[in-house]
Structure 1
Amino acid sequence: MPSSNVLLEFLKHEQERPQSIFLRQPFNGQWKEWTRQQAGDECRRMAAALHTLNLPAGSHVAILSKNCAHWFMADLAIMMAGCVSIPIYPTLTAASIQPILEHSNAKAIFIGKLDDFASQEAGIPSHLTRIGFDDYNRNEQHNWNNLIASSSPLATLHQWQPDDVFTIIYTSGTTGKAKGVMHTFGHVDITATTAISELQLTPQPTMLSYLPLSHIAERIGIECIGIYLGATYSFVESIDSFAKNIGEVQPHIFFAVPRLWGKFREGVLNKLPQKKLDLLLSIPIINNIIRKSIKKKLGLARAEFIFSGSAPLSVEMQSWFNRLDVKILQALGMTEDCLLAHFERPTARRFGSVGKPFKGLQVKISEEGELRLKSAAIMNGYYKEPELTAEVFDEDGYLRTGDICEYDHDGFLFVTGRLKDQFKTDKGKFIAPTPIELKLSANTDIEMTCVVGMGIPQPIALVTLSELGKQKTKEQLIESLSATLATVNTTLEHHEQLDKIVLMKENWSMENGLLTPTLKIKRNQVEKIHQQFYPKWFEVKGKVIWE
């Protein structure tokens, strides 16, 4: 039976170390800090204000903001008041925000640090109570600082039970309509205590929170587990200041997605081309100086635990960073399993794998090769969607993950694709695109790739160029990408071999609807736009062509 919860862990550290720094927020290049005592006082005042605003215990309260100190304080205030949090991706459009707010029965919303709220505002129903984070120039019906100033701290905080719903997290919707995943305080406690024990995480770490807190990995892996550890959190002021901020923070625990690792590598190679880097790393003594210098510039000089998730990271990328003494640990989790999942451990790694299961996770592989899970941290279900909930569990009560996986003889799990991503060529052969895409990503001229092939005899790869690739001439790109294509094809079965690479005119982004907020490709959207052109591209001569 869980013995604690996120709120109790915050209160414990607040009592034991009231003057320790909890939150650090950059404003115009200067850091503002909150001790645990100061943050706790603001949270209690905001919790009291929520009750004053006719939001009793049990009310659903949304948070729409980029990561910032006030996101954490709003979350804690919601817990103190006995309410349920509904985090919303800060990059969603009005058309995506509105159905989530309506479906979740949200009664109020915190509106904070945002890039373009004017385009999102129409998605907020008029009946919701709005509270602005005015430190980020968000002035609303009610504002954080005024409510704090006019409210006394809530004297009696809500007493949560393990089975009480902590949050409803809406999935990022790679395949369509977002679903509200219900997680309890008990689920989070099981995951946090298990992860801390099995990964041997160090107490009181410095952490940087920058990936969306509406995503399970950042919410549980960074915010909640960090609260258990008594972490100090810093945030990023803007995209432009990311490199500067991480360099100043030098976090002990760092989590990124594959796209960011690609950007990190690009940054290194822009200053140190691969041949020169290889030479320097081959020289004794100099190699250690180079590694330390690169790690410091990346903000990873003090990093003890470096994780990658959300999508597969290629063996080649993991190996590349390993040479720099940046030891990236892969993990495989999903919103529905609350991150009680598979993780590589610092002492048990295998490139290309996502590690081994945490204790308490029951696993089976179906006849189709699908990974299925059962544990005490699996979601209660999808909010107000009993039929969708029933569909995602098999007859034995195991969660269907949708991942096609296999274990090696030492018990390391390898992901070979997604069930829903498989497609059939017009020869009737099934293709799993993910492993092929990972092999292509070894070429640093490529930023993103999507292997497709419905309606044509052989698959093709749709590719967007990296910044390094954009600096090359057309002839250089043809040479580079043709060589990669030939190399990759030698590793594939005949029916999997790529006929050509098609370079896309524009980048894939959240703005044009082709990436999720966690920077995964929305394959169905890419297909929807481009599938009509596959036969034409297939007929064009050449191994590398332009859209």
Structure 2
Amino acid sequence: MSSAQSMIERRPVSVAHLFLSRVEATPQGEAYRYPAPVDEHAADSTPGAEQWRSLTWAQTAERVKAVAAGLMSLGIGAEDRVALASATRVEWVIADLGNMCAGAATTTVYPSTNAEETAFILANSGSRALFVDTVGQLAKVIEQREQLPELATVILFDAPAELPEAPGLTVLSLAELEAAGAAYLAEHPDAIEKSVAALEREQLATLIYTSGTTGRPKGVRLVHDCWAYEGVAQQESGLLRSDDVQFMWLPLSHVFGKTLISGQIATGHVMAVDGRVDRIIHNLPLIRPTLMASAPRIFEKVYNGIAGKARAEGGAKYKIFMWAAKVAREHARTAQQTRVATGREQVPFALGLQHTLADKLVYAKIRAAFGGRLRGSVSGSAALAPEIGYFFLGAGVPILEGYGLTETSAGSTVNRAEDVRVGTVGKPLPGTEVRIAEDGEILLRGPGVMRGYHDLPEQTAEVLEADGWFHTGDIGELVQDGYLRITDRKKDMFKTSGGKYVAPSEVEGKFKAICPFASNILVIGNGRNFCTALIGLDEPVIMAWATEHGLAGKSYAEVVADPQVVALIDGFVKRLNGELQRWQTIKKFTLLPRDLDVEHGELTPSLKIKRPVVEKNYAEAVAGMYAGTNEA
């Protein structure tokens, strides 16, 4: 038995156990960094100024225990649901750990979720208490109060001087809860240790509601053993290291972000927490992370931004960038091919020289923008276009594409920094098994797999077999050395009227790699005799192009309707079609008057396209593309 497998089998009961062990092992080690306002009374302070502060593991434990004891003082006990509706911030982590140490189960709620769906999640989960970051989140609960008979307490992270009134609810500030917890611990000093000792592996730890692309969200039941396994597996796989500095900006309400907290506690590395997406570029050189996790859309936007800036500078600079991008892809692809075939990376001498020159001219600046120390960036939640992956790998910013679902506690397979294979989602974490069904569906089994959907036994039975195999709904194959390659979502694949199967995400990924203006694309063609596409453009990039081409002053909707822009995108569609089988080619496309977004329900909070919603919202545009054919 390998040491990794041995450690997996000897894993602790829960992340709460892992946390207390971590605090005991490295009490003075730095645990978390977070932005905070500069003291307004400081001589050099300016309005709105911030500074990064730190918590040691011992300081974190003091706050976590106070939160846990505060919940106990409210009568919260084993498996009682306590919800979290907040943006990503250090208080989210403290509240979640406090829940676990109190024996409660966390219900996660995206802060962008509307009032009606927030009420559904809180009611369906039976949540008795709720942490919120702002008064705006509290307002959603007040609006839906009649739907929430079990909810008794709301705790505010950012509490105003005078707490708002909420009929039928007790509203506390986080400071008040921690003070109540400190008083409780004064009378019951060993309450937390007893609570954690009483936890059981199969006890409910978290309910995460799938954002889903159709229908009501389903509560995924993840027990303490799921998270304990994820923490140890990430550590033993080498994905996370004790000397890492990880930048966490992902939504912690999503399983991807939350699972990395488990791994961070297992390894004890530093995590800098700030969920403000508009601060990512600003924060990177300040944090100088060695590791960061992200969704593919962020890498696409970074690439588009770099290409757009080079294009705006024009002339030699744009030509140099395009040459360097080509060299990066060719170098990464060649190095990967030789490494897989022979175990050693080898590239032709001339290509190596070109890569060295391109590094000085272009790649070094890209690495510096990421802080200069990034050894890898974990990508998940949606497919990464291989051409984007090769570009960043060649530039020295490896994207470690991984795979998992809410139903598998996120982490199932992942690429390792020492052996990245673009086009795959890596190898299974220790303790996770992967099997491909006869129809190509990916099946997963392991400790991270959910114990079922909350109060939905029939839907659980549809995806979870008695022997533990979970049906992912994704199509894929196992390639050399056990790496997993994903083809498409089983339910997204469609057949044209000519009987040909099309994997839309494959076509969509190719287009986003070819077209630096693309933000979102939806390929349509189920039961039709040809494929079409709805395309949303990256607003900052296309608007910069528009200014340079005589369209300054026009709105985004006016720009995308302009014949110049339609012709521009048509050129990229023609390039795409040159790489596709005849039945996959895009015969017609429509540029959307605005990009797809979460607010209109077209994207999930993790930025996956809700295909049925988009097709419904733009049904008229789709019908127009097929008008005049025998399908109209």
Matched, 1:131 2:155: yes
* From 250, 256, 266, the counterpart of 1:228: 266
Residue 329 of structure 1 corresponds to: 400
| Per-residue deviation, residues 429-459 of structure 1 (Å, max 9, x unmatched) | 4422111101111210111101012464211
Matched, 1:216 2:216: no
Residue 192 of structure 1 corresponds to: 231
Residue 513 of structure 1 corresponds to: 601
Q: The residue matched to 1:50 in structure 2 has which SS?
A: helix
Gaps of 5+ in 2: 1-8, 38-49, 165-170, 312-317, 328-353, 550-561
What is the CA-CA distance between 1:409 and the residue it aligns to? 4.3
Q: The residue matched to 2:448 in structure 1 has which SS?
A: coil
Residue 52 of structure 2 corresponds to: 31
Matched, 1:535 2:535: no
Residue 393 of structure 1 corresponds to: 464
Gaps of 5+ in 1: 542-547
Closer, same or farther: CA 283–196 of 1 in aligned 2, 3 Å:
closer
Matched, 1:74 2:145: no
Give the Cα–Cα distance (whole angstroms) in 1 for the partners of residues 66 and 369 of structure 2.
Answer: 40
Q: Structure 1: which amino acid aligns with 2:155? A: I
Closer, same or farther: CA 540–34 of 1 in aligned 2, 3 Å:
farther
Residue 558 of structure 2 corresponds to: none
Closer, same or farther: CA 191–48 of 1 in aligned 2, 3 Å:
closer
| Per-residue deviation, residues 37-61 of structure 1 (Å, max 9, x unmatched) | 2221122122111111121233110
Matched, 1:276 2:320: yes
Residue 200 of structure 2 corresponds to: 161
Give the Cα–Cα distance (whole angstroms) in 1 for the partners of residues 356 and 435 of structure 2.
Answer: 47
* From 88, 93, 101, the counterpart of 2:109: 88
Residue 368 of structure 1 corresponds to: 439
C-alpha contact 2:376 2:397 (8 A) present in aligned 1: no
Give the Cα–Cα distance (whole angstroms) in 1 for the partners of residues 117 and 439 of structure 2.
Answer: 33
Q: Structure 1: which amino acid aligns with 2:303? A: R
Residue 366 of structure 2 corresponds to: 294
C-alpha contact 1:210 1:235 (8 A) present in aligned 2: yes
* From 297, 300, 306, the counterpart of 1:259: 297
Residue 491 of structure 1 corresponds to: 579
What is the CA-CA distance between 1:238 and the residue it aligns to? 3.1
Give the Cα–Cα distance (whole angstroms) in 1 for the partners of residues 91 and 468 of structure 2.
Answer: 39
Q: The residue matched to 1:463 in structure 2 has which SS?
A: strand
* From 297, 311, 315, the counterpart of 2:386: 315
What is the CA-CA distance between 1:328 and the residue it aligns to? 0.7
Give the Cα–Cα distance (whole angstroms) in 2 for the partners of residues 353 and 120 of structure 1.
Answer: 42
Q: Structure 1: which amino acid aligns with 2:16? A: L
Give the Cα–Cα distance (whole angstroms) in 2 for the partners of residues 110 and 36 of structure 1.
Answer: 22
Residue 28 of structure 2 corresponds to: 19
Question: After the TM superposition, which residues 423-442 of structure 1 pair with which residues of structure 2 at under 5 Å, given as runs?
Answer: 423-442=494-513
Closer, same or farther: CA 18–398 of 1 in aligned 2, 3 Å:
closer
Q: Structure 1: which amino acid aligns with 2:508? A: E
C-alpha contact 2:85 2:130 (8 A) present in aligned 1: yes
What is the CA-CA distance between 1:539 and the residue it aligns to? 4.0
* From 38, 41, 50, the counterpart of 2:62: 41
Deviates more, 1:504-513 or 1:341-350: 341-350
C-alpha contact 1:22 1:233 (8 A) present in aligned 2: yes
C-alpha contact 1:456 1:535 (8 A) present in aligned 2: no
C-alpha contact 1:134 1:145 (8 A) present in aligned 2: no
What is the CA-CA distance between 1:172 and the residue it aligns to? 1.4
What is the CA-CA distance between 1:176 and the residue it aligns to? 1.9
Give the Cα–Cα distance (whole angstroms) in 2 for the partners of residues 179 and 237 of structure 1.
Answer: 25
What is the CA-CA distance between 1:226 and the residue it aligns to? 0.6
Give the Cα–Cα distance (whole angstroms) in 1 for the partners of residues 161 and 245 of structure 2.
Answer: 27
Closer, same or farther: CA 252–138 of 1 in aligned 2, 3 Å:
farther
Residue 279 of structure 2 corresponds to: 241
C-alpha contact 1:94 1:123 (8 A) present in aligned 2: yes
Give the Cα–Cα distance (whole angstroms) in 2 for the partners of residues 135 and 30 of structure 1.
Answer: 21
Q: The residue matched to 2:491 in structure 1 has which SS?
A: helix
Mark the structure with the bigger radius of gyration. Answer: 2
Q: Structure 1: which amino acid aligns with 2:191? A: T
Q: The residue matched to 2:423 in structure 1 has which SS?
A: coil
- Say how many residue pairs are matched: 539
Matched, 1:445 2:517: yes
**Which structure shows the bigger proportion of residues in helix conformation?**
2
Residue 500 of structure 1 corresponds to: 588
Closer, same or farther: CA 295–387 of 1 in aligned 2, 3 Å:
same
* From 3, 11, 26, the counterpart of 1:3: 11
What is the CA-CA distance between 1:136 and the residue it aligns to? 8.4
Q: Structure 1: which amino acid aligns with 2:448? A: A
Residue 545 of structure 1 corresponds to: none
Residue 559 of structure 2 corresponds to: none
Matched, 1:405 2:493: no
Q: TM-score, normalised by structure 2?
A: 0.80
What is the CA-CA distance between 1:26 and the residue it aligns to? 1.3
Deviates more, 1:63-72 or 1:206-215: 206-215
Q: Structure 1: which amino acid aligns with 2:584? A: E
